[in-house]
C-alpha cells in the first residue's frame, strides 16, 4: 500500500508539471500568435500583398484559427487542473508520511483502514494522471524503487519529453518560418 501511495504521489507531481507546462506554453503561444497576427494586420494596411496575393485570406484564416484555439485552450483549464493536481499530490505526500509513523528502528506498521480509505478518497478527488506521468516519475526517481522502469518505458518517457520540447519549439518557430518562406517567394 505504501508503494501505491508513493507511486501515485510521484506520478501526480509529474502530471502537475505537465499541466503547468501546457498552461504556460499555451498562453505564451497564444500571445505570440496574437502579436504576429496584429503585426500582419498593421503591415497589410500599407502593403496589401506582403505575403502574396492571398495575404488577406491568410490573415483572416489566422484570426479565426486564433479565436478557435484560444477558446479550446481556455476550456482545457490547464492552470486549474494543475492546481488541483498539486493539492492532491501534497495530500498524498502527507498520507505517505503518516504511513511511516512509529517507533524509530522498528518497521512501519501496516496501513490502517482509515489510511486505505483516505487513499481511495484522494484518488477520487482528482483526475487521474496519465501513464506517461508514471513512467517519467519512475525514470527520474532517485534511490531504489520497487517498480523500476523497463527499457521500453525509459525510451518512451525520454521520447515523449523530447517530442514535447521539439513540438513546442516548432510551434514557436512556425510563424517565423512561414513568413520567411512567403517572403522568399516574393518576386
Span 67-85, mean pLDDT?
Answer: 95
At residue 138 the predicted structure's pLDDT band, cuts being 50, 70 and 90, is very high
In this prediction the pTM is: 0.86
At residue 62 the predicted structure's pLDDT band, cuts being 50, 70 and 90, is confident
Tell me how far apart the alpha carbons of residues 129 and 12 are, in angstroms, rounded to a whole number: 6
Identify the pLDDT of residue 107: 78
Identify the pLDDT of residue 41: 84
Q: Which three cell numbers stand for residue 67?
A: 479565436
Kindly give, in sequence order, each residue whose CB lies less than 8 Å from that of residue 184, ignoring residues fewer than 6 positions away: none
At residue 187 the predicted structure's pLDDT band, cuts being 50, 70 and 90, is low
Span 129-156, mean pLDDT?
Answer: 91
- pLDDT tens digits, residue range 113-125? 999 999 999 999 9
Tell me how far apart the alpha carbons of residues 24 and 106 are, in angstroms, rounded to a whole number: 45
Tell me how far apart the alpha carbons of residues 92 and 81 are, in angstroms, rounded to a whole number: 16
Identify the pLDDT of residue 39: 86
Tell me how far apart the alpha carbons of residues 98 and 47 are, in angstroms, rounded to a whole number: 67
Tell me how far apart the alpha carbons of residues 91 and 13 are, in angstroms, rounded to a whole number: 11
CB 98 within 8 Å of CB 7: no
- Is residue 80 scored above 90 in pLDDT? yes
* CA end-to-end distance (rounded Å), the chain: 69
More confidently predicted of 28 and 39? 28
Tell me how far apart the alpha carbons of residues 183 and 74 are, in angstroms, rounded to a whole number: 33
CB 16 within 8 Å of CB 82: yes
At residue 144 the predicted structure's pLDDT band, cuts being 50, 70 and 90, is low
Out of 78-82, 128-132, 179-183, least confident range: 179-183
Coil, helix or strand at residue 171: helix
CB 78 within 8 Å of CB 96: no
Span 94-101, mean pLDDT?
Answer: 87
Amino acid at each position: 500500500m505504501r508503494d501505491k501511495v508513493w507511486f501515485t504521489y510521484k506520478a501526480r507531481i509529474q502530471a502537475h508539471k505537465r499541466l503547468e507546462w501546457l498552461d504556460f506554453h499555451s498562453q505564451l503561444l497564444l500571445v505570440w500568435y496574437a502579436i504576429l497576427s496584429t503585426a500582419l494586420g498593421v503591415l497589410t494596411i500599407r502593403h496589401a500583398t506582403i505575403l502574396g496575393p492571398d495575404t488577406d485570406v491568410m490573415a483572416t484564416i489566422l484570426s479565426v484559427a486564433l479565436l478557435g484555439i484560444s477558446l479550446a485552450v481556455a476550456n482545457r483549464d490547464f492552470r486549474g487542473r494543475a492546481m488541483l493536481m498539486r493539492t492532491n499530490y501534497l495530500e498524498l505526500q502527507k498520507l505517505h508520511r503518516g504511513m511511516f509513523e512509529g517507533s524509530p528502528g522498528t518497521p512501519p506498521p501496516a496501513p490502517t483502514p482509515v489510511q486505505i480509505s483516505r487513499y481511495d478518497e484522494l484518488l477520487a478527488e482528482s483526475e487521474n494522471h496519465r501513464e506517461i506521468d508514471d513512467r517519467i516519475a519512475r525514470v527520474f526517481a532517485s534511490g531504489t524503487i520497487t517498480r523500476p522502469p523497463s527499457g521500453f518505458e525509459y525510451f518512451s518517457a525520454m521520447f515523449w519529453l523530447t517530442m514535447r520540447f521539439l513540438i513546442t519549439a516548432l510551434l514557436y518557430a512556425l510563424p517565423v518560418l512561414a513568413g520567411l518562406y512567403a517572403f522568399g517567394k516574393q518576386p
